[in-house]
Amino acid sequence: MDFQGILDRLVAIRAPGLVKSDEPRKADPKDKKDKGRAGDPFVIVEARELAEFVRACRDDDRLHFEQLVDLTATDPSKDAAELWINVQLLSLKFRHRLAIKAFLPKNAASMPSLVPVYRASQWHERECGEMFGIRFEGHPDPRNILLPDDWAGYPLRKDYEFPKEYHGISCE
């Protein structure tokens, strides 16, 4: 199924939390500030409803997204008030993908965990937790995965300041 087909189906099954879709477009020649957008189309979903949304995607027999390929976050800029959550779903049966984006406020970055739906998200959520400071409610094991347990700050946030020393090791 192509993106439009998936979107129509999502609307038809009233997938919870679906806000809108965002498709690549060419720049408007009249508006000099408009740069257009390249890349893949994606759907925007309410962060609080994301777990239920992917559950609907997995269980629907015409979407059939058996796999969660990737879950990550993005900090678009230093001044941005919101982080993005980016999820990639894959259907092996119908050979299609779906990119999902959700927004989380930086100062209250917390959302329900996707682990009850896909166990694949377990390690991805741990990584998002340590790198972006996102709390996944109901995660079975929310420890750091790549960083040491006592690491301060969230390295992939744009306002992260590089440490000057770590346990007596100078980093300058």
Partner 1 sequence: MANEVTKTMPPSTRLRRTDASEVTVDIRTPDLEINFGPQHPATHGVMRVLMRTDGELVTGAQPHLGYLHRCAEKIGENVEWLQYLPYTDRYDYLASMNNNLGYSLAVEALLGVEIPRRATLIRIICAELNRIGSHLVAFGTYGLDIGAFTPFLYCFREREWMMSLFEKICGARLTYSYIRIGGVFNDAPPGWFEEVARFCDVFEQKWPEYVDLLLVNQIYVKRTANVGVISREMALDFGLSGTMVRGSGIDWDLRRDMPYMCYGEIWRDGAYKIPVAKGEMGTLGDCWDRSWVRVMEMMESIKIVRWCLDHMVDGPVIGELPKTLKVPAGEAYVGIENPRGELGHYVVSDGGKVSVRTRVRGPSFCNLAVLEDILPGSLVGDAVAIIGSTDIVVGETDR
Rounded to 10 degrees, the C-alpha dihedral 64/68/118/132 comes to: -150
| Cβ closest to partner 1, residue 14 vs residue 165 | 165
Residue 62 binds to partner 1 (criterion: CB under 8 A): no
Nearest approach in angstroms of CB 93 to partner 1 is 10
**For partner 1, what does the binding mask look like between residues 122 and 141, x meaning CB under 8 A?**
xx-------x--------xx
Nearest approach in angstroms of CB 43 to partner 1 is 13
Element (H, E) at 56: helix 50-59
DSSP per residue, 62-130 = TT---EEEEEEEE---SS-SEEEEEEEEEETTTTEEEEEEEEEEGGG-EEE-STTT-TTHHHHHHHHHH
Residue 35 binds to partner 1 (criterion: CB under 8 A): yes
Q: Site residues (CB under 8 A) for partner 1?
A: 24, 35-40, 42, 66-70, 72, 74-77, 86, 88, 92, 95, 97, 99, 118-123, 131, 140-141, 143-148, 155-156, 158
